[in-house]
Structure 1
Amino acid sequence: MKNHKVKWGIIGLGNIAHQFAADLLLIEDAELTAAASRDLYKANEFAEKIKAVKAYDSYDLLFKDPEIDIVYIATPHNSHAELSIKALENGKHVLCEKPMSLSYKDAVRIIEASKKHNIFFMEAFWTRFIPSVQDILQKVNHGAIGNVNYIKADFAFHGSETENKRLFDKELGGGALFDIGVYPLFLSYLLLGYPKEIAAKAIKHKNDIDLQTSMILQYESAQAVLHASIVSESDMKATIGGTEGRIELNAPWYAADGYSLFKNEEKEAAFSLPALGKGYSHEIIECHKCILNNEIESRLWSHQNCLDLSRIVEEIKTQIGLKF
């Protein structure tokens, strides 16, 4: 594959797929080869809009297309596990939207399939690869704010049951935790690792999905105070506090175009680190690098990282009584 473009197929053609496809067009060695939807009209419309070569009305047809190197899965959450495994079984590398599954058990099955078939798999945690997050991680690891002992992060917005039906649909894995709660959990895990204890409380919808969930992750000498909501708003900044200062990621922190460094309550420096396109481009570049190096996982967001985060989410799911 060293001398030709990495050929992508996209399945699940909603809003995120459109944003992802726009970023894919910014990457020189990427080609959007095919798009698939269960609705051929939708597939054709998408393919025409983002200049894909082929359109399919079946995911299986796309998986069987010998031209495609890697599949981006952007279908509803409840189908991620089965479609990831099917793509891997068909010899396709996979970038699967988060959450990679609705249960830890299914997350394990996906990673086992990746290892069994020796094919690359990554959960699409694009925030991990944006310049701001890469940079703060480096600064924190080099002791810029001393020992991290506090993280505050939330992801909240006002969703509408009429406009955001998927978000409120229990069958599709809707609710705050799986859709957006994974982001603050990811930040805490990235900076502090696996917690010693987890405490979570939720406010539920009448159909039993969580409308908002608050979480505390307890570490040896640190705490992360995290929140996710699809019925309220927040400033969506994130604070990383340490023994010698703090870092504040610009809002919305999960797509931060920069951050500020504070010492003794004074702003010491502000850093501007805009992403390429919407920011999905950076995870695309990582996928290419791994595939070209014949690696089945990323060192920046590894199989173990995927599994750890899935296990944290599973614990919260149990505590708040979410059942899919």
Structure 2
Amino acid sequence: MENNKKIKWGIVGLGNIAQQFASELQLIESAEIYAVASRNIDKAQDFANEFKCPKAYGSYDELFQDTEVDILYIATPHDSHAELTIKALENNKNVLCEKPLALHYKDVEQMVATAKKQNKFFMEAFWTRFNPSMQETLEHIRNGAIGEVKYVNADFSIKFENPDNTRMTDMKLGGGALMDIGVYPLFLAYLILGIPKEILAKSQFYSTGADAQTSIILQYENAQAVLHSSFLYTCNVDATISGTKGRINLDPLWFMTESYSLTQGDQKTKFDKPTLGKGYTYEIEECHACLRANKKESDLWSHQNSLELAKIIEDVKTQIGLQYS
């Protein structure tokens, strides 16, 4: 792909997350919001008008068949990620799909296999991976600034006053705290410590079968992670990574933080890392860099990373008895 050519994005599913993503696309000079699709043509046209987008479609299939689109962003509810991603890839589209990639590990396997078969770029939209504070945190750890990591603690809890009859508790749409927000703490533990030896998890549930809150301990050879997610209350949403020589504290909201601190003995250093927009901009730029280099996956968040995290999530689901159809 030519370096001076704007990359044309198509957006599939036009809910709140798509609104945020489209706003961030407008901050990237090399990006163009070219086409959007909803199952409701009026909604698609309103979205297109708001973001000055040339094309609006009343079905996803129409967007998949638009040959001008360089890459698709899948922003539909969790339950449809796998089906739509596979269909998009089979229509020779590059794909950035919202997290979690799917409700079942086997579906993630199929998504990755399809991307490889079609030889198209495919990435899970774990935007936190590309956050400047997260990049620097990993660099500090690699450089031994906090010694050997022994403990990761992260939570993500936000209270929903009326969760009934919403996507948050609808099992058909992949509802529940684990899949909606619990994947973030799991992502951090995996990013820092890798695949655990053992998983211990417990949950409380809504009457629908979706988890209202879930607590997880990940046991490693020489470390532990304690993680939590909930729809029942709002917490600090911070994270701590502790090692033998110090610790790193990611300030709230840690998954999109613009600051963190490094503590070594009595010395505490604060780092401010303002983001461009909310921070989706960095995963967008990563997609652009991969497309221009003709890469089919990111080195920073690879297919294997997505597969391994999906397997951890699957094991947590088994532990707590969470079953999606």
TM over 0.5: yes
Encode CA deviations 1:171-223: one digit per residue, 9 max, x unaligned. 10000000011000000000111111111000011111100000001111100
For structure 2, the 5+ residue unaligned runs are none
Encode CA deviations 1:230-254: one digit per residue, 9 max, x unaligned. 1112111100000011110010100
SS of residue paired to 1:290 = helix
Match of 1:115 in 2: 116
CA distance in 2, matches of 1:223, 1:52: 47
Identify which range, 201-210 or 162-171, moves more after superposition: 162-171
Contact between 1:161 and 1:168, CA under 8 Å: does it hold in 2? no
Match of 1:58 in 2: 59
Superposition CA RMSD, Å: 1.0
Match of 1:268 in 2: 268
Contact between 1:8 and 1:33, CA under 8 Å: does it hold in 2? yes
Match of 1:318 in 2: 318
User: CA shift at 1:54, angstroms?
Assistant: 0.7
Counting matched residue pairs gives 323
SS of residue paired to 1:47 = helix
Relative to the length of structure 2, the TM-score reads 0.98
Contact between 1:156 and 1:230, CA under 8 Å: does it hold in 2? yes
Match of 2:20 in 1: 19
- Aligned counterparts, 1:204-283, within 5 A: 204-264=205-265, 266-283=266-283
Relative to structure 1, the CA distance from residue 67 to residue 163 in structure 2 (aligned partners, 3 Å threshold; closer, same or farther) is: farther
- Aligned counterparts, 1:125-274, within 5 A: 125-161=126-162, 165-264=166-265, 266-274=266-274
Relative to structure 1, the CA distance from residue 213 to residue 36 in structure 2 (aligned partners, 3 Å threshold; closer, same or farther) is: same
| AA at the equivalent of 1:298 | S
Contact between 2:163 and 2:169, CA under 8 Å: does it hold in 1? no
Match of 1:46 in 2: 47
CA distance in 2, matches of 1:91, 1:146: 45
Contact between 1:260 and 1:267, CA under 8 Å: does it hold in 2? no
Runs of 4+ deviating beyond 6 Å: none
Percent identical among aligned pairs is 58
CA distance in 1, matches of 2:296, 2:177: 30
Match of 1:298 in 2: 298
Identify which range, 49-58 or 102-111, moves more after superposition: 49-58
Relative to structure 1, the CA distance from residue 107 to residue 249 in structure 2 (aligned partners, 3 Å threshold; closer, same or farther) is: same
User: CA shift at 1:292, angstroms?
Assistant: 1.0
Relative to the length of structure 1, the TM-score reads 0.98
CA distance in 2, matches of 1:119, 1:9: 15
